[in-house]
Amino acid sequence: MHSFPRGLRLLALLVSVVPGALLAADVVTVAVASNFARTAADVSAAFTRDTGVPVRISHGSTGKLYAQIMNGAPFDVFLAADTERAALLEQSGLTVAGSRRTYATGSLVLWSNDERLRGKDCREMLEHGDYRHLALANPATAPYGSAAREFLAGAGLWELASTSAVYGENIAQTLQFVATGNATLGFIAKSQTADPALPEAACRWPVPVSSHAPLDQQAVLLKRAGRHDGARLYADFLATPAARSIIRRHGYQVAD
């Protein structure tokens, strides 16, 4: 007899016992950290194909989405870009008990679209301050921005970088700054470099994961969705082989 992962068994069971028409009419609202927006769209499309349950995605910085949830925003599932906000929601009693889990681990890339840096070493340009503006997500609200600042501080480069830094409201806006050339260099998510629409990098450098706190991203099922069968299905779908395969394809690490 074949053995299936617990999440996959539960998903199959729920799909078999919950009427399809009921699920299809019950939209799952998912708050998604900006770095994961494209990945979440693909995961959600696969989920809807498998279950018939529609998904509505809202994306933004983790800090802003967290604040919205704390103020009563009507989301069912929260896909944060860190562990801190998911844990805080859990501590506040706003999540379904036992639902918090890591769904992906991200990483940073120092990236440039500036022709003057083509073929050069991005890391060396950063070290020498050879840039007009350096883009990073707002460290106060975006975990990827916080990781970038932590790397810069550890490398002794924060004092120099902060004088030329431009801050994206989230990692998506940060990519826009550097892709359009408004910033010479930028710290973006590795997952963003998998976008086929992104211009070829003039230079890129993977930021060592050991230089900042792990970018573990956690999901929680929010308490308002405790009796929402579609939302429960979605939360469990994130742990299935199908979802993990999509997440890996977008450049994240996923625990087996």
Q: Residue 33 and residue 8: Cα distance in Å, rounded?
A: 24
Q: Residue 129 and residue 132: Cα distance in Å, rounded?
A: 8
Cβ distance 28 to 228 under 8 Å? Answer: yes
175-202: pLDDT as tens digits? 999 999 999 999 999 999 988 889 999 9
Query: By mean pLDDT, which of 32-36, 93-97, 107-111, 195-199 is the weakest?
Result: 195-199
Beta bridge partners of 109: 188, 206
- How far the first Cα of the chain sits from its last, in Å, is 21
212-256: pLDDT as tens digits? 999 999 999 999 898 889 999 999 999 999 999 999 999 999 987
Contacts for 204-207 with beta carbons within 8 Å, 24 or more apart? 204/109, 204/110, 204/111, 204/112, 204/122, 205/109, 205/110, 205/111, 205/121, 205/122, 205/123, 205/126, 206/107, 206/108, 206/109, 206/110, 207/107, 207/108, 207/109, 207/110, 207/147, 207/148, 207/151
CATH number of 6-105+215-249: 3.40.190.10
Cβ distance 110 to 126 under 8 Å? Answer: yes
Question: Domains of the chain: which residue ranges?
Answer: 6-105+215-249, 108-206
| Alpha-helical regions (H) of the chain | 6-17, 20-24, 37-51, 62-70, 84-91, 122-128, 143-154, 158-162, 171-179, 229-237, 241-249
Say which CATH topology domain 108-206 has: D-Maltodextrin-Binding Protein; domain 2 (3.40.190)
pLDDT at 160: 93
pTM: 0.84
Q: Establish whether domains 6-105+215-249 and 108-206 are of one fold.
A: yes
Flag whether pLDDT at 121 surpasses 90.
yes
Average confidence (pLDDT) over 139-155: 96
Flag whether pLDDT at 79 surpasses 50.
yes
